[in-house]
Amino acid sequence: MAEQILQINHLSKSFGSNPVLRDIDFTVSKGDVISIIGASGSGKSTLLRCVNLLETPSSGEILYHGKNVLGRGTNPAEYRAHVGMVFQSFNLFNNMTVLENCVVGQVKVLKRDREAARVHAMEYLEKVGMAPYIKAKPRQISGGQKQRVAIARAMAMDPEVLLFDEPTSALDPEMVGEVLNVMRNLAESGMTMLVVTHEMAFARDVSKQVVYMNNGVICEQGSPAELFGNPQKQETKDFLSRFRG
Amino acid sequence: MNKFAQLGADIAKLWTKYSGAYISGIENTLILALIGTVIGCLIGFICGVLNTIPYSRSDHPVKRFFLKLIRVIIRIYVEVFRGTPMVLQAVFLFYGLPYFTDNAVKFTSVWAAAIVVVSINTGAYMAESVRGGIISVDPGQTEGAKAIGMTHVQTMTSVILPQALRNIMPQIGNNFIINVKDTSVMFIIGFPDFFAAHRATVGASYLYFPSATVEMVGYLTMTLLASFLLRWVEKRLDGAGSYELVQTDQLTMTAGTYNHPDRGTPFDERSKEYGQTGKEER
């Protein structure tokens, strides 16, 4: 049994009187690659944003190495430094070049030496194939390139878990592949990943576990073979049949 | 036509006699406007940042109380100083302080008084502009910064304020130009600015219109130069329109653009057939 990184217990979230997540339980262990699938509005992204404390859950707990990060006296910023996030809309810092984007967090948050941070950032920028573009500003590169930089930026912080919030949904179809390739390589290198996605092929081929969400609850979860090959619940069957077309 | 010749002759006469007064007036006006705008911007930035500190229902009541109090104070400051003429504020401060404290507290130099009044005034206008500038930065930028573990202060200084500054650059320019002109009201407390030079010269020469012409041309030149300079600064802030590719290795150009073939096809590296047939073809 691999070391447990995150344990989510009875997590609920409502916006006003509207419940978005209800009693969510799941764990993330080292080396897991978990895909969260489900229809729009099923609460996938909210779940991910709760895990990163970008949204404050209404109730429940998030244990990070056994310590509840929702309790008083915990520092969200410190916790977030260990949990990387890649957004649908990239969210690269527009006032910085590609390289600075990957360096600033290491220097400001991890207090690394600027030169060491640069070398470390270059390592990941090369992995995602963006090393030639380090002098470009985010507005000068394409969506797929931006997302690859965003992945390098998150990875340069050496996170324990990397969260992906629909990383390819805002991309033109021909750019989806380049981002998925980078993610596939990351998964193969043993990175712990939690991916909210509409890319069924990715969920099936790359992830080790698939979570299907419906109406704010985890409807079904299991290995890709189980969930795609032999779904148990009617909702899951209906959802998957829409993708098979 | 000879009216213009007359005007030219009068201006020449004024200039030979009083050019020193005009030039030192221009200097003082520019220095006051510049210092006032810079300090005013600082005040505006501080107010804008304080005004945008987020708080939610789940925060501690004391923190919420203080944040609300700060917002109320800033609101009052902005409304009072934006809503009264600068010329009156100058009088109020310059004569009000010694009046209330029996001369114990007063401005010993008109420079200090003028700088304080212009700065506070600019700050009141800038507070709102900065708030707008901060709000106009995409919320995704804040999320991106938070997601890598930055604190509120780090997010502000590294990510949001540099972008807000670019957004409000035209406003800062506007304020500087307004200050160049509006510091002319500081003659009321005896500040030796460009307009004060006009009052002094016409008092001695009675050449009202020629001196006013000199003033008009002088102010217009200053403001035109200022707008030109600001455009240039804005361009510098935007950075180059193009970027250089950093080429370390020919292959890096294509890295990441390559799509993995589907599993099981002969072109997949993971497939057994790949080594035999795929390589020669590629």
Q: What pLDDT, in 10s, does the model give residues B63-110?
A: 889 989 999 999 999 999 999 999 999 998 888 888 888 877 778 888
Q: CA quadruple B203, B208, B212, B213: dihedral positive or negative?
A: negative
Q: Answer whether B63 touches A (CB < 8 Å).
A: no
Say what the ipTM of the complex is: 0.89
3-state SS assignment for residue B112: helix
Please state the rounded mean pLDDT for residues B171-196: 92
**How many CB atoms neighbour CB B249 within 10 A?**
10
Three-state DSSP state, B210 = helix
Check residue B246 and give its pLDDT. Answer: 75
Print the SS3 string covering chain A: CCCEEEEEEEEEEEECCEEEEEEEEEEEECCCEEEEEECCCCCHHHHHHHHCCCCCCCEEEEEECCEECCCCCCCHHHHHCCEEEECCCCCCCCCCCHHHHHHHHHHHCCCCCHHHHHHHHHHHHHHCCCHHHCCCCHHHCCHHHHHHHHHHHHHHCCCCEEEEECCCCCCCHHHHHHHHHHHHHHHHCCCEEEEECCCHHHHHHCCCEEEEEECCEEEEEECHHHHHHCCCCHHHHHHHHHHHC
B27 vs B272, which has greater pLDDT?
A: B27
Given a cut of 50, whether residue B174 has pLDDT beyond it is yes
Give the minimum alpha-carbon distance from A185 to chain B in angstroms, rounded to a whole number.
11
Rg of the Cα atoms in chain B: 30
Give the nearest chain B residue to A201 (CA atoms): B262
Q: How far apart are CA A55 and CA A236, in angstroms?
A: 27
User: Is A60:A14 a contact under the CB 8 Å cutoff?
Assistant: no
The radius of gyration of chain A's CA atoms, rounded to the nearest angstrom, is: 18
Q: Would you state the pLDDT for residue B277?
A: 47
- Sign of the dihedral defined by the CA atoms of residues A190, A193, A199, A200, in that order: positive
Contact (Cβ atoms closer than 8 angstroms) between residue B149 and residue B177: no
pLDDT at position B218, please?
Answer: 94
% chain B with pLDDT above 70:
87
pTM of this structure: 0.79
Task: Label residue B268 by pLDDT band (50, 70, 90).
Answer: low
pLDDT band, residue B256 (cuts 50/70/90): low
Mutate to test the interface with B, among A13, A91, A148 (most CBs of B within 10 A): A91
Report CA-CA distances (Å) from A225 to A2, A207, A229: 21, 10, 5
Supply the DSSP symbol for B155: I
Q: What is the pLDDT of residue B241?
A: 73
Residue B165 confidence (pLDDT) above 80: yes
pLDDT of residue B267: 60
Q: What percent of chain B has pLDDT over 90?
A: 53
- The whole-angstrom separation of Cα B85 and Cα B124 is 12
CB–CB contact A94 B258 (8 Å):
no
Q: Which residue has the higher pLDDT, B259 or B71?
A: B71
Choice among A178-187, B20-29, B64-73, B262-271 with the minimum mean pLDDT: B262-271
Is residue A87 within 8 A of residue A150, CB to CB? The reply is yes
Angle at B91 between CA B87 and CA B95, to 5 degrees: 170
pLDDT of residue B239: 76
Kindly report, residue by residue over B126-150, the tens digit of the pLDDT.
998 999 999 999 999 999 999 999 9
Q: Which domains does chain B carry?
A: 2-239 (1.10.3720.10), 242-282 (no CATH)
Place of tokens 């080429």: B247
Residue B244 has pLDDT above 80, yes or no: no
pLDDT at site A74: 81
- B113 to B96, B120, B269: CA distances (angstroms): 12, 11, 77
B147·A54 Cβ contact <8 A: yes
Across the A/B interface, how many CB contacts are shorter than 8 Å?
113
The verdict on a CB contact (< 8 Å) between A132 and B260 is: no
Q: Closest approach of chain A CAs to the CA of B245, in angstroms? A: 5
Pairing of strands A209-214, A33-38: parallel
| Positions in chain A whose pLDDT score sits under 70 | 1, 244-245
Q: How confident is the model at residue B281 (pLDDT cuts 50, 70, 90)?
A: very low
Q: Which of A89, A108, A148 sits opposite B256 (nearest CB)?
A: A148
Question: How far apart (Å, rounded) are the C-alpha atoms in residues A144 and A157?
Answer: 21
Q: Which of A93, A97, A126 sits opposite B144 (nearest CB)?
A: A93
- Residue located via tokens 């007036």: B25
pLDDT of residue B266: 61
Q: How far apart are CA A120 and CA A118, in angstroms?
A: 5
Task: Please give the DSSP secondary-structure letter assigned to residue B248.
Answer: S
Q: What is the mean pLDDT of residues B229-241?
A: 84
Contacts of B90 (CB under 8 A, 6+ apart): B113, B114, B117, B185, B186, B188, B189
The CA distance from A96 to A129, in Å, is 19
Among A134-138, A201-205, B183-187, B241-245, the least confident range: B241-245
